[in-house]
Amino acid sequence: MRLFQLNTRLLLNTKPLHNICVYKRLYNTGLLRKTSTLPDKVGLCLSKEQVSTDKDSDLIEARRPGDIVQVPGSTYGGQYDLKWSQKPNNVLIVKKPNDIKTEKAFIEVANWLHQSQPDMNIIVEPEVAEQFQKELPFVHVIEKSHKEDYTRTVDFAVTLGGDGTMLHLSSLFPKAAPPVVSFSLGTLCFLMSYKFERFRHVLDDMIAGKVGLMMRMRLFCSLHQPNGKRIEINGVEVDDRQAMNEVTLHRGRFPHLTTIDCFVDEQYLTECVADGLIVCTPTGSTAYSLSAGGPIVHPSVQSLVLTPICPRSLSFRTVLLPPSSNIELKIGEQSRSQTEVSIDGQEIFMLHKGEYVKVRMSKYPIPCVTHISDGAGWEKDINELLKWNQTFGSNIH
């Protein structure tokens, strides 16, 4: 069995479905009943907070006016100003599971939005609607088999929890992701911009289009057999994935080091003999890669970070690659066991000799609401949350 599931989400690929229906869950019946299809998301436009140059924009227009698409080569490190073409209709709320504090916050936010914005459709995941069907009978759900409807309908998303909640939200959008406003209710909350107590003010600004966005780059990942075809599970091809933090190859529970042949733009780079190898985004540079000795990279700097995990060679160091790079990581013939592949730590696949992973910059970033003007940007985060460059006695009074 190639696949180990860390959660209950189905990983099987499904063909596109037409005439998709969205459902509303009614608390008095406990059943899903068809309602009218949710409207498409509204259009938006983004503008830079500083004067534009003559260079091509790092954001390009997509087929739908609400899609945010990014191309390699941007050197713009500031934030974008969001403007809606009309008032947004649909909001997705994603919460941290199995946490009492987050559950209370979720109910409070959902009820407040429903009362203050009665025309707005509130979307939650099916299992969340099941759990709160009595408290929140007005929410909408999108079936797991209709995952593409998240991209079609969601104007903006709200996350309640920690960094893992943000990574889970990223997995719901295999293509264009909406603007995301995040509230910290987790452990570290490096990716969460706001304290929960401010949610009313922040969401009012979000709906009014008075917020700034930072484009957090994602990775596009595909899994291949030695013949180049997509890896299959039970006869069904594994879908391509988007990673916000990293794609990790690791020996897992097997005792021997794994051997990985690394190629960049079809050119052989090196043979990695190690516990594993990480390809991460600038956002992911402060996660697993940092623990493995990788550098801290500003989230606005487009790059792919290649970091070994406990390599056999002491001279094997992290490599930063340009965003246009196409990386191929193939399980070497010298490997004595299977190799685990995880995407943002949420899904695990098994690769055999000759099978490989392709990784490149995704054209679909995660647009994260920021409040840099409040003095709460990346620089503050690495100092206060990561305790960057602090001496051992700095907290002693």
Summarised one tens digit per residue, pLDDT across range 25-42 is 443 344 443 334 788 999
Q: What is the pLDDT of residue 331?
A: 98
Alpha helices in 233-292 (DSSP H): 288-291
Active site residues: 163
Q: What is the pLDDT of residue 176?
A: 94
Q: What Å distances lie between residue 80 and 31, 58, 397, CA to CA?
A: 42, 11, 41
Minimal CA–CA distance to 334: which of 264, 278, 272, 255? 272
Burial of 282 (0-12, 13-18, 19+ CB in 10 A): buried
Q: What is the pLDDT of residue 146?
A: 87
CA distance 328 to 357: 6
**The CATH number of the domain covering residues in 20-42+67-216:** 3.40.50.10330
Check whether 76 has a pLDDT greater than 90.
no
Q: What does pLDDT average to over the chain?
A: 84
**pLDDT value of position 369:** 92
pLDDT of amino acid 188: 65
Report the percentage of the chain scoring pLDDT > 90.
66
- Over the stretch 196-209, which tens digit does the pLDDT of each residue have? 999 999 999 999 99
pLDDT for the residue numbered 397: 46
Strands 69-70 and 194-195: unpaired
Helix axis angle, 199-208 relative to 100-116, nearest 10°? Answer: 50
Output 389 or 100, whichever has higher pLDDT.
Answer: 100
Q: Does domain 219-361 have CATH number 2.60.200.30?
A: yes
Distance CA 186, CA 393 (A): 27
pTM assigned to the model: 0.83
Q: What is the mean pLDDT of residues 56-67?
A: 53
One fold for both 20-42+67-216 and 219-361?
no
Higher pLDDT, 63 or 298: 298
Domains of the chain, by residue range, sit at: 20-42+67-216, 219-361
| Residue 163 near residue 244 (C-beta atoms within 8 A) | no
- CA gap 213, 242 in Å, rounded: 20
pLDDT at 55 over 80: no
* 46 vs 114: which has the higher pLDDT: 114
3 state DSSP class of 166:
helix
Which structure tokens are listed for 217? 């780059």
pLDDT of residue 110: 98
β-strands 347-351, 212-216 pairing: unpaired
Query: What integer pLDDT is reported at residue 8 of this predicted model?
Result: 28
Q: With left for phi above 0 and alpha for psi between -120 and 50, is residue 98 left, alpha or beta?
A: left
- Give the integer Cα–Cα distance in Å for 280 and 289: 7
Beta pairing, strands 194-195 & 258-264: unpaired
Query: Is the distance from CB of 271 to CB of 260 less than 8 angstroms?
Result: yes
Give per-residue pLDDT as tens, 253-302: 999 999 999 999 999 999 999 999 999 999 999 999 999 999 999 988 99
